A and B are shown apart, each in its own frame.
Chain A
Amino acid sequence: MHISEGVLSGPVLGAGAALAAAGTAVGLKTLDYEKIAGAALLAAGFFVASLIHVPLGPGNVHLILNGIVGLLLGWGAFPALLVALLLQAVLFQYGGLTALGVNVLIMAVPGLVCYYLFRSMLWKSARLRIAAGFGCGFLGVLLAGLIAAAALVISEESFLEVAGLILAAHVPVMFIEGIVSASGVAFIHKVQPSLLPGGPPR
């Protein structure tokens, strides 16, 4: 879902860069000393995740993991994903460099949404926790597709057509990522619950 070089128009690229910069500034403030190691691990995980492929039907699908990165880091997802996407662009040519700002928005904003939506659900019951984890994965991919389509709508024809194409291609990813995120959340809760946002209601 990375947008390549030369696809988007100047204003879209500029707006994307500005919004991503703002998000990153907020994110850097929230990343205090304790959180940096976790952010690095998640950035590395995201960086490598797009190389993980699951064969599905005629082709393959890849993991994105932006939902769980957002859930665990909140606003810190912006700098973490910025670094990971920059390295993907430079080393793998995934996504254009001028489109970096837009690509950061595509990945980080859904993560942020998942953070606000699901963080309170994590501490109520095991079932709700798994549902929240699934929701993060599912919604992360869904919203990323919608934002990518919104960015493309200015250069391509209609939003519905582009959005439909992207989302249709990623439906299996949404479910797979939901499952992966759910098991990820459950695992983290078992071994290091302090990594999860919020905390048990006191």
Chain B
Amino acid sequence: MTERSEKKRNDTGRVRSWVLRLAWILFILAPAIPAQAHRVSVFAWVEGDTVHTESKFGGGRKAKGAVIEVYDETGKMLLTGKTDDNGAFSFAVPKIATLEVVLKAGTGHQGSWTVSEAEIREAKTGMSTGSKPSAPSGEAAVEALTPPSPTGTAGPAPMPVQELRNVVEEAMAEQLRPILGRLARLEDQAREPDLKDILGGIGYIFGLAGVAAYVAARKRNR
């Protein structure tokens, strides 16, 4: 080989090996880097009279300006809207029924989340106002709470049951709001692909290849 062509061969080889090295580095670093769109997902939770939804692409990027459609159990569309810059969209409960929240992020990406009727009812009763008649046990409890006013002096009037109930419920709703959001996010996170899914998939591929090889070998030996 002439000197010049040998140098050229070495140079190409060097460039090639650097490209390969770079590719390997990317391959190794890859799992650390969050993903882009293969699928899009939406999750929802109910607080009182409002349903909150959050939409994102697989891996965490928020789905902004995506269309949300809400259907009832018969498949009728009840309302539609768009997610904001945080991928969030909230709406008042349109109907006490099992709702299907569908997210349409365009170019073939779609996801959905079911809000059960039970969840809506539970959230609603938590925020009930005035119209419920107080149970006898409630009254007795309130009477036990307010200290007996000393004779002669007028102490503060005992709070009526319903007002006390409202105060407690408001305080609880405030505390529960972030927790409900976190719970929904946790349920949603369980849907992300993890290592065992990857290993399982690779295992299946090689398992199928093994079966195929067996069949092919038998065909050959016949």
Contacts and interface: CB of A to CB of B under 8 A. Distances in A.
Contacts of A148: 107-108
B130 interface: no
Interface string B1-26: 00000000000100010011001001
Contacts of A43: 205, 209
Interface in B175-222: 191, 193, 197-198, 200-202, 204-206, 208-209, 212-213, 216-217, 220
Contacts of B16: 183, 186-187
**Chain A: interface size category:** 35 or more
Contact of B201 (A1, A88, A93, A183): A88
Interface in B58-111: 58-59, 61, 102, 106-111
A33 B216 contact: yes
B222 to A, nearest CB: 12
A7 B197 contact: no
A50 B212 contact: no
Contacts of A186: 16
Interface residues of B, number: 44
A83 interface: yes
B38 A62 contact: yes
28 contacts: A2-B39, A4-B110, A7-B108, A36-B216, A37-B209, A43-B205, A44-B206, A48-B202, A51-B31, A51-B35, A52-B27, A53-B35, A53-B59, A54-B33, A60-B33, A84-B201, A92-B39, A94-B58, A126-B12, A148-B108, A152-B107, A156-B106, A162-B107, A179-B19, A180-B23, A183-B19, A183-B23, A187-B16
Given A44-B201, A165-B106, 17 more contacts: A7-B109, A33-B220, A40-B206, A47-B205, A50-B38, A51-B31, A53-B33, A59-B61, A60-B35, A60-B36, A88-B201, A94-B39, A95-B38, A149-B107, A165-B107, A180-B23, A183-B23
